[in-house]
Amino acid sequence: MPAGGGLFAAIHDLVRMIPPGQVASYGMISTLVPGSTPRIVGFAMNGLPTDTDVPWQRVINASGGISPRPGSERQRIALEAEGVEFSKSGKVDWKKVAWEGPGPDWCEATGFDMVDYMSIIRHWPG
DNA sequence: CTGATGACGGTGC
DNA sequence: GGCACCGCCATCA
């Protein structure tokens, strides 16, 4: 249980909503979780156990690539297994695999401001 | 309590 | 495209 008042839980819930074959950036997630930052999102992924139901592999950096770290190859393989294609430089095509967002019903359920939401997803890559 | 750290992002050069 | 900073804030030693 995260000490930050459910901050980690909110991040995990959001990541769980990313469908297979699509990816989101740390910044995308942090923007939809008030009080979080890209670093917090990364930290929330870091604390996940190996048998988690959170599809952590679908969260990558804003450049569309996988950050170098032990196990990054495992992440790429997992994504490729879902149909995500990587360019020669190891980056994804946001236009093809960018997550569309949790949707309006999520805003209503969580109380997230709809106007802010529209503005946010409009600025997303793709 | 204080300082360091980090799966990051944006800006400026 | 790359690189160097700075800001961000929960965690941890």
What are A20-72's pLDDT values in tens digits? 999 999 999 999 999 999 999 999 999 899 899 999 999 999 999 999 888 89
Task: Return the closest nucleotide (C1') to the Cα of A4.
Answer: C10
Following CA atoms A89, A92, A96, A99 in sequence, which dihedral angle do they give, to the nearest 10 degrees?
-160
pLDDT at A29: 96
Which of strand B's nucleotides are less than 7 A from any protein C-beta? 6-10
The C1' atom of B11 and the CA atom of A105 lie apart, in whole Å, by 34
Q: At what angle do helices A38-46 and A7-16 cross, to 10 degrees?
A: 80
pLDDT at A4: 42
Task: Return the closest nucleotide (C1') to the Cα of A62.
Answer: B9
- With a cut of 70, say whether residue A116 has pLDDT above it: yes
Q: Report how far residue A105's alpha carbon sits from residue A120's, in angstroms, rounded to the nearest whole number.
A: 16
Which of strand C's nucleotides are less than 7 A from any protein C-beta? 1-2, 7-11
pTM of the model as a whole: 0.93
The C1' atom of C4 and the CA atom of A109 lie apart, in whole Å, by 42
